[in-house]
Amino acid sequence: MEIIAGAFLFSYFLIILLFSWLWLKIPVKKGNRILTNKLISVIVPVRNETDNILNLMNDLWTQKLDPSRFEVIIVDDNSQDDTPEKVKGFINGHNHHFKLLEIQNEKHQVTPKKRALTEGVEHSTGEIIVTTDGDCRVSPDWLDIIDQEFKDEQIEFIAGPVAFTGVSGLFGNLQRLEFSSLIGVGGSSIQLGYPNICNGANLAFRKNSFTKLNGYTGNGHLASGDDEFLLQKFASRSPKGIRFLKNEKAIVYTSPKRTLSEFYQQRKRWTSKLKHHKEWHIKFLSVWIFVVNFVLIASFVGSIVGYFNWFILAGLLGLKFLCDSIYLLVILKFFKLKMKWFEFVLLQIIHPFYIVLFGLVSNYGTFNWKGRTYHE
pLDDT for position 345: 94
> For the segment 221-256, what is each residue's pLDDT rounded down to a tens digit?
777 778 999 999 999 988 899 999 999 999 999 999
> Distance of CA 53 to CAs 73, 130, 137, 197, 202, Å?
12, 17, 9, 26, 16
Bigger pLDDT: 31 or 161? Answer: 161
Please state the pTM of the whole predicted model. Answer: 0.92
Helix residue ranges, H only, the chain: 2-25, 53-61, 83-92, 112-122, 142-149, 169-192, 207-212, 228-237, 260-271, 280-305, 310-334, 341-361
Domain ranges of the chain: 2-22+279-361+367-371, 27-262
Q: Is the pLDDT of residue 28 over 90?
A: no
> For the segment 331-358, what is each residue's pLDDT rounded down to a tens digit?
999 999 999 999 999 999 999 999 999 9
Q: Is the pLDDT of residue 276 over 90?
A: no
Query: Which one is the CATH code of 27-262: 3.10.310.50, 3.30.430.20, 3.90.550.10, 3.40.50.150?
Result: 3.90.550.10
pLDDT for position 59: 97
- Rounded-to-integer distance, Cα 176 and Cα 348, Å: 14
Residue 36: pLDDT band (50, 70, 90) is: low
Q: Which of 53-57, 77-81, 256-260, 354-358 has the highest mean pLDDT?
A: 53-57
